[in-house]
Structure 1
Amino acid sequence: MICDYEGSDYRTRFWENADRAYEDAVERIAIAHMLPPRGARMAEFGAGFGRLADLYAGYDEVILLDYSRSLLAEARQRWGRDPRFKFVAADIYHLPFAPGVLSAATMIRVIHHIADVPAALMQIRRAIAPGGTFVLEFANKRNLKAMMRYLVRRQRWNPYAPEPIEFATLNFDFHPRWMLQALRAAGFDIRAKRVASYLRAGFLKRVLPLQMMVRIDAALQRTAALALLSPSVFVQSVAVGQGHEAKGEGAALVGEGIFRSPRSGQPLRREGDTLVCDADGTRWRAEDNFYDFKAPL
């Protein structure tokens, strides 16, 4: 099962018409500290409408990937004139990339919608070249609010238990230890952690100026070495060499050569407005800088 935002008003309802300037600002600070400022080719997994795409200005090529075609259309409307960008509709469990084609990747506000995290992380790891950076944000199960609610018995689930909690359909919180173990098992080496959004509360937004909240949060982000108790946790990891992608051959691929059939993993060739896989017979929509790998034609 996949959480599909197709046709949703996510951009306007959740961001533009909601009081989330604080969350946007502090997430940008965390990413700026963890993602290398320059690189060859990077991807944002679950990019939505491209809210964070301006942070990737130092990359030669940027892939915005999401399961929702409608959100990608919004991203393309904003960023489509920039020749560095590709827009890819795809399933995180069946990514359409050759091994090792990415030098960096991010996944922000996405993994809490993923039921099979180990499978998704293995797909991402396969796409990143050895030594490439992966910045992941996840919803923290063991946060201060959850701990206090559990203490006074206003919450039934245990924030200290390591397994993920699905508090609503396809909405998960994760224990930091569990998530770090999942990253290591997928082939990532943990390099740094940052905590974010400690001040995510309506009453604080009403009484504190935005810039003051952002400055406080920026200072608190550096306390991750002491404890991971914030509602949002950022992890910087590096892909370690393993299997055939360890050869680093993916970095030499260019243009549409980076793509593979999600069904068979075999190369594709251009035929009109489609990419065709001769090995499995599938055809995939490919118009200008938009590629649809959700379902074959």
Structure 2
Amino acid sequence: MGLILSVWMSGMTDDGPASSSSALQTLAVPTSSRLSVMLHSSPIGSGDTRSHWSTSHCSPHFLLSPCREEVTRTPVEQSSDGVRAAKGVNSGLHLWEVLWSPAHRGSHAVVGVSSANCPLQASGYNALLGGDPQSWGWELGTNQLWHGGQSLGRYPAVNSTTQGVGGGRPEIGLKTPGSAVEIPERILLVLDADAGTLAYIVDGSFFGVAFEDLPRGVKLFPAVSSVRGGATIRLRYLNGATRDPPALMALCSLTIRRSLGPQRKNLTNKLPIPPVLQQYLLPNQ
């Protein structure tokens, strides 16, 4: 069966993958097979409690929506405000989606993770998330990484030695003096609680490990901080995995999907395999 499938796929007309005009693609680094399988798996259904913002671990200047998946900062001057997710994790590999429009970020818009003890409100305007030893944040406007009240440099890096989650922290370097990459609305947080690393994916590009040496066995929560009135931020838990290696079936499925490419992803019903396997290979919704 494997030989037949290999011959059939090699004989298909290769239109090539759809090209991306995003400049972020040039900053991407390879993902691990564990993360790749997760990214190609069906996301968790809507309504999962891991997609909820916390009602108690939240600045009083943030208002929660009835579904608790969205928060909006009220117009308050000279205040930096944060909010954490309702549920944290202390093991496994996890993926969250944060939706935050660039038009509603202002300065000091920070996305990352924190422990249960991170401050969630402070006077003045600053990068609140990452401003103490209990939080780690990526400031979207300036691309700065923050932890312990200090900037750790720009992210993503131009030259990175990172080969995937757990592969080490990238070498941070400036693209040009004072420049910053424009970050679109959708940001994925990749927290490997087993390896103690945090990474980000933007526009389909994995930027490598941003933070390493996060505390093991301590619950960490997705979190954001903002100073802009009217900033609306949505959270969604997409998927998670244990530290066990991916199943062989999942790896085979990933290889086949990559071979098909974006332009042939809907041709699984033409593969010379049983219908149940064709169904398994259908693109994720």
Q: Normalized against structure 2, the TM-score is what?
A: 0.26
Q: Which has the higher contact order (CA 8 A, sep 6+)?
A: 2
Q: More helix per residue: 1 or 2? A: 1
Q: Normalized against structure 1, the TM-score is what?
A: 0.26
Q: More strand per residue: 1 or 2? A: 2
